[in-house]
Structure formats: structure tokens, C-alpha cells
Amino acid sequence: MENALTYEGGAFVNFRLFRWRGPWAHGFRWVSTKHLRFSPGSASDADLLAALIGHEQFRDAYAGSGVRPDEIRHGPYWLRLITPREYDAVGREECARVLREWANQYEPVPADLEAVLEREAFACVAAADRVHHLRELGDGAVHDWGRVQDCFHEFVLIDRSAGRITLLVATDD
């Protein structure tokens, strides 16, 4: 199914680029979205997750080097340890709650950042038929420098009516 996913683009929202009240309230946080198209059909969520994990756009350590075909890390984890079984189905409301609590943990986000997050993240969450959250994989899955990212949140948003998967990562470094 890997070839059935076509990368369409995405967004990177750097909290540091917005004006905060406190000098470090941005917390070096950011949100990344990657959108991929799939053909309508009877593919299960597990099949779509497997296709996403196998896609080149998933080969991203989220540490500034971008997507690399030889990447062996994904966020704080060793890539080889991430399988569809590591994702829990959650509701859209739970996903939005986690993202809002994370975004507002130091102080409320500025209004202009809230508008960008609504467009780039929360609209995708609202459109999703299914939401999957990568669970905490534990210390044994964390790669050699994986703890540079704190509060790593990864959601896979499946919008079957649009034939789109969105990989949404929210973290800090």
C-alpha cells in the first residue's frame, strides 16, 4: 500500500515566530503537518498506518535534518520499533484537548498563532473520520539522542471522504 500514498505537502508552525507575553513562553515548540493522499477503497486503518510508516515522509527525526531516505529515527524513537500496533484510536475531542493543553501549557497562545493552529492543525482534526495517537513507547524505544524532544505528540488523522492522511506532530526541542 506504500505506493498508494502520495505526499501533497504540509506546514511547519514555529511558536517562536509569534509574540508572547513571557520571553520564553514559546517553549521552543512547533507543529508539523504532512498531508498524503490515498485512493478510496477498503483499506483498513492498520493498512493505512502501515503505508504511512513505510512512506519516505515518515523518515523524519524532527531534529532539523528533514526527511532522509536513510533515517533510522522518528521523533524520539527508533523507526524500526514503530508499527501500527503502537497507535491508539482516540476521538477528535481527545486529540484537540491534548493539543490545546500542550500549546497553552506556559500561557495562552497569541491570537495570531491560534488562527494558524486552527487552520493548519485543528481543521484537520475536525475533518478526520479516525484519529490515531502514537503512544509513549518507553525508554527502550528512545534512540541515542531522543530525549532532546520533550512532550512529543504524534497523531495520524484519517479523512476517508477526502482520501487524506495527515501526520501531525507537536513537540518542543
Give the domain ranges of the chain.
Answer: 2-172
For all residues of the chain together, what is the average pLDDT? 91
**Cα R_g (the chain), whole angstroms:** 16
Mean pLDDT throughout 111-128? Answer: 98
User: What does CATH list as the number for 2-172?
Assistant: 3.40.1000
CB 131 within 8 A of CB 156: yes
How high is the pLDDT of residue 2?
Answer: 47
pLDDT digits (tens, 9 = 90+) for 72-85: 888 899 899 999 99
Query: What is the pLDDT, as a whole number, of residue 93?
Result: 98
The arithmetic mean of pLDDT across residues 150-158, rounded, is 93
How far is 161 from 163, CA to CA, in rounded Å?
A: 6
Report the distance separating Cα 77 and Cα 56, nearest Å: 16
User: What pTM was estimated for this model as a whole?
Assistant: 0.94
For the chain, what percent of residues have pLDDT higher than 70? 95
pLDDT (tens digit, 9 = 90+) per residue, 10-42? 999 999 999 999 888 888 999 999 999 999 777
Cα angle value 117/96/26 (rounded, 5°):
45
Question: Could you report the per-residue pLDDT of 48-60, keeping only the tens digit for each?
Answer: 999 999 999 999 8
